[in-house]
Structure 1
Amino acid sequence: MAKKAKASKKKKSVRREYTKADVKELRAHSKGKTPVAKIAKLTKRSEGSLRQKALKLGIPLGHRR
């Protein structure tokens, strides 16, 4: 029997620049210790994107216990 190749639709990522307002919001969430998953939903960005931006800005994000 031949296996059928499953056609998977991968979600196309859309790159959006971070505006000054986005950075200000990210800093506020960092200070408020908001979970990264919650920030991702609010900003409609991936957790990875948020973590990378926080790393570049030098602000802590997530992994705080």
Structure 2
Amino acid sequence: MRWLDARGIEYEAIDVISDEAAFDEMIRLSNQDLAPVIEVDGDVLADFGPDQLAVFWQKIERKHARA
């Protein structure tokens, strides 16, 4: 997750290939079976690239600024 690393954003990487329960949780969260998936405070982004992640992260930051 170079985009997150470049911005100093901490995250937990979970290997959904070797962990069946994690794979099932990914499907439950995202309603699909493609990685990567990111979940932040209930907001989910699945099967994304850097541009989609940037837009998603801006929404998260705006949401937290209002809280």
Q: TM-score range by the shorter chain?
A: under 0.3
Q: Relative contact order: is structure 1 or structure 2 higher (C-alpha 8 Å, sep ≥ 6)?
A: 1
TM score, norm. by length of structure 1: 0.26
The TM-score normalised by the length of structure 2 is 0.26
Greater Rg, structure 1 or structure 2?
A: 1
Relative to total residues, which structure has the larger strand share, 1 or 2?
2
